Amino acid sequence: MSTGILKETNFKLPGQTAFYKGKVRDVYTIGKQLIMIASDRISAFDHILPRAIPYKGQVLNQIAIHFLEATRDICPNWLESSPDPNVTVGIACQPFQVEMVIRGYLVGHAWREYKAGKRILCGVQLSDGMVENEAFPSPIITPATKAEEGHDQDISRAAIIQQGIVSEADYQVLEKYTYALFQRGSEMANEQGLILADTKYEFGKKDGKIYLIDEIHTPDSSRYFYKEGFNECLAAGIKPTHLSKEFVREWLIEQGFQGLEGQKMPVMSDDFVNLVSDRYIELYEKICGVAFVKESTEDIELRIETNLAVK
């Protein structure tokens, strides 16, 4: 029994046919349904950090549901219900083996590649003379292959189609949905005084129909900046205030860890763990525009199991 955090689940659900433990989510298959449980685990540089973050799973799950509901008019998605604050129940699809990463700003991985001298990212030509956090003239799609273990790999549109990872016809649909979803996410962020800098979407197929799957516009899959003061920071060469998991990556880099062989995972103090939790809750309240209600964490597994039994 756990108290305070949900690090993992090990349910044996009625009718369960499969179980998959991802970096953050525990995924159970029951017939044609998926039950996705957002744990409090946190990952960075494709490593699960040793300490879990209180309320992180609830934040991720509820933000994802907020945006899945708000984008149903753009494309079909997998969401059917949420019987618990940490749980999404939905349609089991066959996932495409690419993540559709879309970037409105030169930040994070794209900036690190650009700073190292790259001017072509996933087949997309980048202009010389750009600075960190600068907006692209228009959003760019920089896909990545989905790796079971280790780092996801950048890949171009042409290579995806050439290698048969996704058919050209399906990829055109993924592109269309990705641009439209990013536009909607950017508009919703703007209404809350935020800038959606970049994000990623995952898609799957069932009975010939393409669905948006997994999470959407959460701090694990997206970077947000505060709109206020952003242009002034950019002009002054100062890092703008952001709400995302990027500050965790930056902290790890400062501690000498980027997930590379031989590097030792730094110790996360209680203060840092609580800071990360506060930042996740802050993003929920900013992006959703409502107060975060902390669900009881006295025994999260029992709570989830009880709620799933009556779903």
Q: What pLDDT is attached to residue 2?
A: 41
Tell me the CATH number for domain 1-94+166-311: 3.30.200.20
pTM: 0.90
Which residue in 265, 271, 214, 276 sits closest to 45, CA to CA? 265
pLDDT of residue 46: 84
Amino acid (one-letter) located at 264: K
Q: Compute φ and ψ for 280, nearest 5 degrees.
A: -65, -45
- The pLDDT value recorded for residue 311 is 61
Task: Give the dihedral sign, CA 54/60/61/62.
Answer: positive
For the record, the structure tokens of 68 come out as 């899945």
pLDDT along the chain (311 residues), means of 10: 77 94 94 96 91 95 97 98 97 96 96 97 97 97 80 91 97 98 97 96 97 93 94 94 84 93 93 93 92 93 91 61
